[in-house]
Amino acid sequence: MYKAMDYEIKGKDIILSEPELDLDETLDCGQAFRWKKVWSEYQCTYTGSFVNEGLTISQLSRGVFRLHDTSEEKFLDIWADYFDLRTDYSELKKKFSEDETLSKACKYAGGIRLLRQNAWECLISFIISQNNNIPRIKGIIDRLCEHYGGVFPEAEQLISETPDSLSFLRAGFRSKYICDAAFRTASGDTDLKSIAVLSIDEARTELKKIKGVGPKVAECVLLYGMHRTEAFPVDVWIKRVLEEYYPGGFPEYISENAGIAQQYLFHYIRTCRNE
């Protein structure tokens, strides 16, 4: 599964070659909500961040990318992990493709990767996601970050908020859940770092102690924020996939990477069938 990375340093930029990555597919497929796409004169560029570290990255051509104004150290320490570059996705997809539906999904959008995101940001983001649509989720998270100076607020910054004081988010009934998550996290009652290494069922139980965290949100935090690739979030879209293509159950041989497979299916069912 380990894969060597192919990159070169070019001034203050890093040029990365990774055939199994596509920015549109990876950064805009419902796993992360804070990457902004900008079209400059010659290229399309994404700007986003991991915790306090910002990044501008553009796709120069198929499988070739420029990480702007960064360093080799930051690339190796932060972005290689964030984009999961040390995992061999060609190997993963080869396995997935033994299944007919997954084979189509991987062929349709082969540049999807599972981002290794921050657990706290995932927790709040997916609390916001419940019974909500992606454009509006992005709007709420934008307003949250904007209010805290353009960065995602830490739990400690949110403990003084109340559902009333968060009304500017227009998050509706979800605001009280954000407050509970912040209080529990800041007080140490919930410790995401230690939850991340629990057995998957213990981790689920711990996460669901937070108000507004049910099976789906817990699964998203595990998958996107803790890189527990066996976690398998089932929303209305994946429910349709399961009913239509997997009436006998999801393939057992994929279970340890079911969450990654789910990501290809989610994108496939939502976009391909509308074309």
Residues 227-256 close enough to bind DNA by CB under 7 A: 233-238
What are the phi and psi torsion angles at 243 (to 5°)? -65, -40
Q: Can residue 171 be called a binding residue for DNA (CB under 7 A)?
A: yes
Residues 33-62 close enough to bind DNA by CB under 7 A: none
Token pair in block for residue 175: 């605001």
Which of residues 74, 208, 242, 251 is near DNA by CB under 7 A? Answer: 208
| Cβ-based neighbour number of residue 235 at 10 Å | 16
Q: Check if the beta carbon of residue 67 is closer than 8 Å to that of residue 14.
A: yes
Token pair in block for residue 271: 């976009």
CA dihedral 15, 21, 22, 24 (to 10 degrees): -100
Which of residues 78, 153, 263, 264 is near DNA by CB under 7 A? Answer: 263
Q: Is 173 exposed, middle or buried (0-12, 13-18, 19+ CB in 10 A)?
A: exposed
Which of residues 132, 206, 242, 246 is near DNA by CB under 7 A? Answer: 132
Q: Can residue 262 be called a binding residue for DNA (CB under 7 A)?
A: yes
- Report the alpha-carbon distance of residue 182 to residue 158 in Å, rounded: 6
Near DNA by CB under 7 A, which window of 34-42, 96-104, 153-161, 166-174?
Answer: 166-174
| Residues facing 168 on adjacent strands | none
Nearer to DNA (CB atom), residue 15 or residue 237: 237
Which of residues 52, 61, 131, 199 is near DNA by CB under 7 A? Answer: 131
Nearest distance from C-beta of residue 180 to DNA, angstroms = 9
- Report the alpha-carbon distance of residue 177 to residue 123 in Å, rounded: 10
Nearest distance from C-beta of residue 44 to DNA, angstroms = 19
Near DNA by CB under 7 A, which window of 14-22, 89-97, 164-172, 249-257?
Answer: 164-172
Q: Which residues bind DNA (CB under 7 A)?
A: 29-31, 126, 129-137, 139, 167, 170-173, 208, 211-218, 220, 233-238, 262-263, 266, 270
